[in-house]
């Protein structure tokens, strides 16, 4: 190389890179289709420009650093300053967990409703005062002001789903690491753009799929992945129904709530009702879970709300993280009379109530297992875990939050990185599109498009109201 001179060396490098890029993008797809690609090699290839991700196992996500940016905390003794965006009941649950981690300081929060801002501030300040910890907390109406603070290392986003992508992408551009509630995004296109923003900006993103840090779910995934059940042919996963038309009565917007900011990119046709952004009860809790999740155009119903947990568990177990089904059948076209997903390995996933609440049942040639929150059943004792904690509180699952904090410091992917969250969220959204169109759909999980179906592909996103944009 030295004999070529500086200019010759540069030319050789450019030509070599071009050849390597062209060859690897082509072979990457072949490896993905064969499901034989290792995580380390995949990440090296995908960094060259493809967003089609195949992560064999989230359990191996801590295998190696994905990148080494110049910024961020480097010492194990460094404190991580957190800002919270969205201060409703789920944010309170998350705060109760994060605030107990010694390396964390919650220094800011943003919300468009004054009663939520006040409640959150009081809870944070009381905790630090009771524990004699010096801390300065600041509250904001607009999340953009919070993101502009250079002293904030990471943000926790716990807003309605339709705000996730805009806020998370803005956080990426502000170089803030992100803990993002599930489901990852409201539309499939938003998820694609968020994956891109996370990787282009070298951001650590942990998805709020806390079941992945719970012993019974980890055990269930391992039983399947290790082949102990033998060949799997069918999975039943109960999550519940899809979204329904918005039909709540219109009410006057209360003082202290900026309804226009709550709507964000949504159409103004979605008028205010207190169930969308609940009032507080006498105990200071939201009087109900935000009902936006149950209505078309604002949420994905139980399909995305619980599917982001139970469908996620199914895909994790069968090695389809970062991938997805190839065919989606609505109930009218399903052999099981329910929403059904088919994978290229022959496995079928049926969304049906099999008598155990929200849970997953995996059938293999050697037997079956059932896993739910605090629940594990099996056809044979050999598949059982040593112990199931029936009292586990999932909304304050500190190990899942700790994975995020550890990842910020190590610059390694957390237990549920953005690609996994995107593929699980995509699967859920595909189900709702099948419900809406009421016909079989053919999906290509590599290019992330429906095959020869213009109408179905039009459902990958919706038109934001101005001036909102992902650009």
Each residue's pLDDT tens digit, 17-54: 343 333 333 333 333 333 333 333 333 333 323 333 33
Q: Would you kindly state where each structural domain of the chain is located, as residue ranges? A: 2-60, 80-211+397-417, 213-243+301-390+422-460
**How far does CA 96 lie from the centroid of its chain?**
20
CB atoms within 10 A of CB 36: 10
| Cα(398)–Cα(380) distance, integer angstroms | 31
Q: pLDDT tens across 130-184, in order?
A: 999 999 999 999 999 999 999 999 999 999 999 999 999 999 999 999 999 999 9
> What digits encode the pLDDT tens for the residues 388-427?
555 455 555 799 999 999 999 999 999 999 999 999 999 9
Task: For residue 77, name the pLDDT band (cuts at 50, 70, 90).
Answer: low
Classify strands 232-238 and 348-350 as parallel, antiparallel or unpaired. Answer: parallel
- Please give the Cα distance from 356 to 254 (Å, whole number): 40
Contact 52, 448 (CB under 8 A): yes
- Let me know if 23 is exposed, middle or buried by CB neighbors in 10 A (0-12, 13-18, 19+): exposed
What pLDDT digit, counting tens, does each position of 187-231 carry? 999 999 999 999 999 999 999 999 999 999 999 999 999 999 999
Within its chain, how far is the Cα of 129 from the centroid? 33
The residues near 423 (Cβ < 8 Å, ≥ 6 apart) are 53, 315, 320, 321, 322, 323, 324, 445
Q: For residues 105 and 94, what is the distance between their CA atoms, to the nearest angstrom?
A: 13
- % of the chain exceeding 70 in pLDDT: 82
Distances 294 to 85, 113, 157, 351 between C-alpha atoms, Å: 22, 21, 20, 17
Q: In b/e form, how buried is each residue of 238-267, taking b as 16+ CB within 10 angstroms? A: bbbebbeebebeeeebeeebebeebbbbbe
CA angle 225, 50, 30 (to 5 degrees): 55
What is the rounded end-to-end Cα distance, in angstroms, of the chain?
42
Return d(Cα 280, Cα 149) in angstroms, integer: 30
Q: Which residues pair with 368 in a beta bridge?
A: 363
Instruction: Specify the DSSP class assigned to residue 257.
Output: B
Nearest of 271, 269, 267 to residue 253 by alpha carbon: 271
Q: Are 316 and 432 in contact (CB under 8 A)?
A: no
Q: Which strands, in side-by-side order, build the sheet including 340-342? A: 375-378, 367-372, 359-364, 232-238, 348-350, 340-342, 327-329, 441-444, 449-450
In this predicted structure, what is the pLDDT of residue 396?
58
pLDDT at 69 over 80: no
Q: Which of 114, 141, 136, 110 is nearest to 124 (CA)?
A: 136
E strand segments, 14-86: 80-85
**pLDDT of the residue at 13:** 43
- Return the residue matching tokens 């879970």: 289
86-139 confidence digits (pLDDT tens): 999 999 999 999 999 999 999 999 999 999 999 999 999 999 999 999 999 999
The residue to which tokens 């789920």 are assigned: 90
User: Which secondary structure element, helix H or strand E, spans residue 242, and what is its range?
Assistant: none
Q: What is the pLDDT of residue 37?
A: 33
Rounded to whole angstroms, how far apart are CA atoms 163 and 157? Answer: 9
Q: 326-381: per-residue pLDDT in tens?
A: 999 999 999 999 999 999 999 999 999 999 999 999 999 999 999 999 999 999 99
Alpha-carbon gap, residue 337 to 340, rounded angstroms: 8
> Angle of helix 89-98 relative to helix 114-130, nearest 10 degrees?
20
How many contiguous H segments (helices) and E segments (strands) does the chain have? 14, 15
**What's the distance, CA 254 to chain centroid?**
31
Report, in angstroms and rounded to the nearest whole number, the Rg of the chain calculated over CA atoms.
Answer: 23
* Amino acid 23: pLDDT: 33
**For residue 78, what pLDDT band results from cuts at 50, 70 and 90?**
confident
- Cβ-based neighbours of 90, under 8 Å, separated by 6 or more: 158, 181, 395
Which residue carries 């109201």 as its tokens?
465
Q: Stretch 45-73: mean pLDDT, rounded? A: 37
- 22: which 2 tokens? 């062209």
pLDDT digits (tens, 9 = 90+) for 269-317: 999 999 999 999 999 999 999 999 999 999 999 999 999 999 999 999 9
SS3 398: helix
What is the C-alpha separation between 435 and 300, in angstroms, rounded?
11
For domain 80-211+397-417, the CATH architecture is 3-Layer(aba) Sandwich (3.40)
Q: Which CATH number fits domain 213-243+301-390+422-460: 3.30.360, 1.20.140, 3.30.70, 3.90.660?
A: 3.30.360
Q: Decide if 293 contacts 217 (C-beta within 8 A).
A: no
Name residue 361's beta-bridge partners: 236, 370
Residue 250: both structure tokens together: 């219109």
Q: Looking at residue 397, what is its pLDDT?
A: 78
Packing angle, helices 188-200 and 418-437, rounded to 10 = 170
Q: Is the pLDDT of residue 73 over 70?
A: no
Mean pLDDT of the chain: 87
384 CB neighbour count, 10 Å cutoff: 15
Domains 80-211+397-417 and 213-243+301-390+422-460 share a fold: no
């Amino acid at each position: 190389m030295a004999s070529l001179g500086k200019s010759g060396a540069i030319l050789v490098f450019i030509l070599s890179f071009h050849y390597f890029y062209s060859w690897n993008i082509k072979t990457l797809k072949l490896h993905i289709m064969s499901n034989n690609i290792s995580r380390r090699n995949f990440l090296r290839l995908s960094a060259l420009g493809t967003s089609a991700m195949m992560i064999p196992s989230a359990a191996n996500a801590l295998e190696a650093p994905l990148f080494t940016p110049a910024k961020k905390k480097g010492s194990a003794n460094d404190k991580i300053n957190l800002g919270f965006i969205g201060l409703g009941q789920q944010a309170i649950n998350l705060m109760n967990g994060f605030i107990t981690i010694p390396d964390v300081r919650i220094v800011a929060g943003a919300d468009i409703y004054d009663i939520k801002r006040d409640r959150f501030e009081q809870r944070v300040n009381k905790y630090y005062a009771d524990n004699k910890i010096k801390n300065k907390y600041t509250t904001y109406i607009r999340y953009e002001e919070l993101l502009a603070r250079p002293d904030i290392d990471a943000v926790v986003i716990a807003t309605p789903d339709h705000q996730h992508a805009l806020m998370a992408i803005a956080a990426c551009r502000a170089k803030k690491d992100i803990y993002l509630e599930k489901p990852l995004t409201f539309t499939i296109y938003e998820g694609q753009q968020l994956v891109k923003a996370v990787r282009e900006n070298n951001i650590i993103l942990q998805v709020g799929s806390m079941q992945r840090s719970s012993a019974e779910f980890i055990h269930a995934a391992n039983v399947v992945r290790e082949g102990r059940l033998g060949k799997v042919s069918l999975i039943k996963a109960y999550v519940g129904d899809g979204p329904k038309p918005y039909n709540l009565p219109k009410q006057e917007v209360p003082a202290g709530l900026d309804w226009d900011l709550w709507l964000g990119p949504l159409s103004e046709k979605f008028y205010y009702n207190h169930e969308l952004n609940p009032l507080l009860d006498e105990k200071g809790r939201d009087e109900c879970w935000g009902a936006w999740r149950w209505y078309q155009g604002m949420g994905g119903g139980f399909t995305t709300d619980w599917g982001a947990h139970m469908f996620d568990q199914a895909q994790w177990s069968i090695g389809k993280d970062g991938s997805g089904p190839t065919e989606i059948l609505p109930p009218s076209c399903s052999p099981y009379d329910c929403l059904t997903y088919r994978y290229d390995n022959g496995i079928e996933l049926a969304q049906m109530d099999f008598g155990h609440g929200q849970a997953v049942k995996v059938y293999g040639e050697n037997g079956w297992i059932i896993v739910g929150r605090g629940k594990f059943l099996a056809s044979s004792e050999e598949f059982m875990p040593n112990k199931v904690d029936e009292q586990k509180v999932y909304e304050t699952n500190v190990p899942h939050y700790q994975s995020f904090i550890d990842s910020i410091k190590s610059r390694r992917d957390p237990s549920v990185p953005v690609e996994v969250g995107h593929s699980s969220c995509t699967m859920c959204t595909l189900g709702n599109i099948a419900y809406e169109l009421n016909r079989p759909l053919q999906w290509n999980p590599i290019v992330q498009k429906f095959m020869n179906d213009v109408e179905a592909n039009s459902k990958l996103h919706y038109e934001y109201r101005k001036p909102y944009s992902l650009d």
